[in-house]
A and B are shown apart, each in its own frame.
Chain A
Amino acid sequence: MDQSTPGDQQSAGPGLALPSNLLKIVGVFASLALTFIGLTAITFIIGRVMPADPVLAIVGDRASQEVYDQVFLQLGLDKPIYIQYFKYLGQLAEGDLGTSIMTAQPVADDILRFFPATLELATVATLLGIFVGIPMGVVAAVHKGRWPDHIVRVIGLIGYSAPIFWLGMVALLVFYARLDWVAGPGRLDVYYDGIVEPKTGVLMIDAAMSGEWEIFRNAFSHLVLPASILGTFALAYIARMTRSFMLDQLSQEYILTARVKGMPERNVIWGHAFRNVLVQLITIIGLTYASLLEGSVLTETVFSWPGIGQYITNSLFNNDMNAVLGGTIVVGICFVGINLLSDLLYRLVDPRVR
């Protein structure tokens, strides 16, 4: 069709196309800024607009009228709503997420303390998903319709369908309470608490850095179960997507070309088809990682894992709105950040969008 030719006009090759690339990156950041504004607008609405009386939520219903009025002015509720929003943005920009009622500390400090635990959990789970899920998906696609495919499909469906909190409970019952193969809830046994200086906040790294191998082993034993449970979900998702991408690529004509060249089948699969799949998987892995950061809420509750999910849940029950919204914003930013990173990585790896 004649209309499809504009692209052809520019088929000059890999020359100097920097300005248009720059434009694309500027576009990515512009959309990032917009997303951020949307994110904060929503948390702002949830925190300041939707509750019937935000002041009451803070001071409680037994406070005197004086205290009430003081907080009312402090919150700037007498000002127009958009000014309140800009003030809110200003505070966020300074890293000020307000003070937690529950811990009486700045929410930002709290989050810094709780976040590494979540990061540790989600990272290990994602790695599990990548290193187990991808080969599973490839094997399933190559053996489509035969038993390896069926096995992968069943594992994937169960990982997809099981409520993660329930799976965690059952796993605790079986592997901790009955079999005693792993350590129980929490990140460490009580008597190891506070020995290692929290440098990174990621316990296993801290322990390794200070040479406390016994603590390292204990931390690992605590991590295995929650990470596997969370990883099951990641694995199911990644395996399933890998399988469908792989099937798609294997039916492409360039695969036939590779076979015509006389290539061994293993190289056709890993050298040609998988290279294309990998490009698509970057986005999927990013999505998985981001969703695990938030999906850990339930796992953390079940395993008493002192991460950000548990922090948000506890704050919620204590009506600690600052902490809830602070946590939401931080997780939201991670979400957006990871997606941005995978988008940029994708642009770097795929020659077609470079």
Chain B
Amino acid sequence: MTRAPEAPLLSVEDLHVTYDTPTGLVRAVRGVSFELGREKLGIVGESGSGKSQTGRAILGLTAPGGQVSARRLDFEGTDLLTANHRTMRRIRGAGISMIMQDPKYSLNPVMTVGAQIEEAFRIHSKASKQEARLRTLEMLRTVKIREPERVYKAYPHEVSGGMGQRIMIAMMMIPEPDIIIADEPTSALDVTVQLQVLAVLDDMISERGMGLIFISHDLNLIASFCDRILIMYGGKVMEECTAADLGQAKHPYTRGLLNCLPSLEGGHDELPVLQRDPSWLTSPGVPE
């Protein structure tokens, strides 16, 4: 497995996302730090762990009412926290892109698939309409869509979930970003389709030497798909390890998550239940 090279694409240091709600401050992300190179980084956690908020904060797309702060949020030498709108727009799409959970909602229902992919391309290049069309069709072939001409003219509701997610991948890859953030990209799909879509994503990332942040609740999937894993709980990173070493994870939360999964081979015995410890949120690192 590859390791992050000397100069990381993205460095995040002490990232916080806080929401001011009528019932008080909600600290969705509290002090997350990591670096991303040309590798597949998995962020795994249960609901409310702050994993999705981390992804959105990087792109500057935190929902209204949310406050983002960090000691460092750097993408290839640009400080994302102080960047102006124009710089951010240039980075979104062409620098960092994102694939969301369900193509049923994340594609515009009244625009054709082709128009939406083309648009993503033309925002960041001066290409002609004709050239954009050719690139789009080529991209549809790259994500292994069999009849690109037909799909080009189709509307989102006319394609299946798996195909919708390939379209999302094509759309987000076409401006050739350096980093893709994939937020539960296959959770709405059946297992076999899920793996086929991931294979497409995997191939493109290794070919182009990009960085991937893969956000998921599925520990098994992340462990088998990514190079490196961050385990998040309550807005904090509990543990960081390489995928290969997950079996030797030390943090009781990680161990608990691993143990409570039913397995094909296991018996009908009681599953070990995860016992949460409030001190995980106050003390840094793996407790002794």
Q: Do chains A and B touch in the complex (CB under 8 A)?
A: yes
Q: Are the C-beta atoms of B155 and A260 separated by less than 8 Å?
A: no
Q: Are the C-beta atoms of B159 and A260 separated by less than 8 Å?
A: no
- Interface-facing stretch out of B2-10, B106-114, B126-134, B203-211: B106-114
- Closest chain B CB from A152 CB (angstroms): 19
Instruction: List residues 225-276 of chain A with CB under 8 A from any CB of chain B.
Output: 252-254, 256-265, 271-272, 275-276
Cβ–Cβ < 8 Å partners of B153 in chain A: 14
Cβ–Cβ < 8 Å partners of B85 in chain A: 265
Q: Are the C-beta atoms of A261 and B157 separated by less than 8 Å?
A: no
Q: Given A8-B160, A351-B157 in contact, is the A260-B93 Cβ separation under 8 Å?
A: yes
- Interface-facing stretch out of B73-81, B96-104, B219-227, B280-288: B96-104
Kindly state whether residue B158 has any CB partner on chain A within 8 Å.
yes
Kindly state whether residue B41 has any CB partner on chain A within 8 Å.
no
- Closest chain B CB from A175 CB (angstroms): 42
Q: Are the C-beta atoms of B107 and A262 separated by less than 8 Å?
A: no
Q: Are the C-beta atoms of A13 and B151 separated by less than 8 Å?
A: yes
Kindly state whether residue B123 has any CB partner on chain A within 8 Å.
yes
Q: Are the C-beta atoms of B92 and A275 separated by less than 8 Å?
A: no
Kindly state whether residue B44 has any CB partner on chain A within 8 Å.
no
Cβ–Cβ < 8 Å partners of A265 in chain B: 85
Which of B61, B157, B172 lies in contact with A256, CB distance below 8 A?
Answer: B61
Kindly state whether residue A62 has any CB partner on chain B within 8 Å.
no
Which of B92, B120, B150 lies in contact with A13, CB distance below 8 A?
Answer: B150
The secondary-structure label for the interface of chain A is: helix
- Closest chain B CB from A226 CB (angstroms): 36
Question: Nearest A residue to B97 by beta-carbon distance?
Answer: A260
Q: Given A8-B160, A13-B150, A352-B157 in contact, is the A257-B110 Cβ separation under 8 Å?
A: no
Kindly state whether residue A108 has any CB partner on chain B within 8 Å.
no
How far does the alpha carbon of A12 sit from the alpha carbon of B146 in the complex, in Å? 13
Q: Are the C-beta atoms of B98 and A260 separated by less than 8 Å?
A: yes
Q: Are the C-beta atoms of B171 and A261 separated by less than 8 Å?
A: yes
Q: Given A254-B106, A350-B110, A351-B109 in contact, is the A260-B123 Cβ separation under 8 Å?
A: no
Kindly state whether residue B154 has any CB partner on chain A within 8 Å.
yes
How far does the alpha carbon of A233 sit from the alpha carbon of B90 in the complex, in Å? 43
Q: Is the interface on chain A under 10, 10 to 19, 20 to 34, or 35 or more residues? A: 20 to 34
Kindly state whether residue B91 has any CB partner on chain A within 8 Å.
yes
How far does the alpha carbon of A351 sit from the alpha carbon of B154 in the complex, in Å? 9
Question: Nearest A residue to B120 by beta-carbon distance?
Answer: A261
Q: Are the C-beta atoms of A253 and B89 separated by less than 8 Å?
A: no
Q: Is the interface on chain B under 10, 10 to 19, 20 to 34, or 35 or more residues? A: 35 or more
How far does the alpha carbon of A268 sit from the alpha carbon of B92 in the complex, in Å? 14
Question: Nearest B residue to A349 by beta-carbon distance?
Answer: B110
How far does the alpha carbon of A260 sit from the alpha carbon of B182 in the complex, in Å? 12
How far does the alpha carbon of A276 sit from the alpha carbon of B153 in the complex, in Å? 18
Instruction: List residues 163-194 of chain B with CB under 8 A from any CB of chain A.
Output: 168, 171-172, 175
Cβ–Cβ < 8 Å partners of A64 in chain B: none
Q: Are the C-beta atoms of A262 and B110 separated by less than 8 Å?
A: no
Per-residue 0/1 for A1-35: is the Cβ within 8 Å of any B Cβ (1 yes, 0 no)? 00000001001111000000000000000000000
Cβ–Cβ < 8 Å partners of A252 in chain B: 105
Q: Are the C-beta atoms of A258 and B108 separated by less than 8 Å?
A: yes
Q: Are the C-beta atoms of B108 and A260 separated by less than 8 Å?
A: no
Q: Given A13-B154, A263-B123 in contact, is the A254-B93 Cβ separation under 8 Å?
A: no
Kindly state whether residue A279 has any CB partner on chain B within 8 Å.
yes
Q: Are the C-beta atoms of B108 and A272 separated by less than 8 Å?
A: yes
Q: Are the C-beta atoms of B109 and A253 separated by less than 8 Å?
A: no
Which of A256, A261, A351 lies in contact with B93, CB distance below 8 A?
Answer: A261
Q: 8 smallest A-B Cβ distances: which pairs?
A: A262-B93, A262-B92, A253-B105, A351-B155, A261-B93, A254-B108, A253-B106, A261-B120
Taking Cβ atoms with an 8 Å cutoff, the residues of A that contact B are 8, 11-14, 252-254, 256-265, 271-272, 275-276, 279, 349-352
Known: A261-B172, A275-B110. 15 other contacts (CB 8 A): A11-B160, A12-B158, A13-B151, A13-B154, A13-B158, A13-B159, A14-B150, A253-B102, A257-B107, A261-B92, A261-B120, A262-B92, A272-B108, A275-B111, A276-B109
Q: Can you spell out 30 A-B residue pairs with CB atoms less than 8 angstroms apart?
A: A8-B160, A11-B159, A12-B158, A13-B151, A13-B159, A14-B150, A253-B100, A254-B106, A254-B107, A256-B61, A256-B100, A257-B171, A258-B108, A260-B59, A260-B98, A261-B93, A261-B119, A261-B175, A262-B90, A262-B91, A262-B123, A262-B124, A263-B93, A272-B108, A275-B110, A275-B111, A349-B110, A351-B112, A352-B109, A352-B110
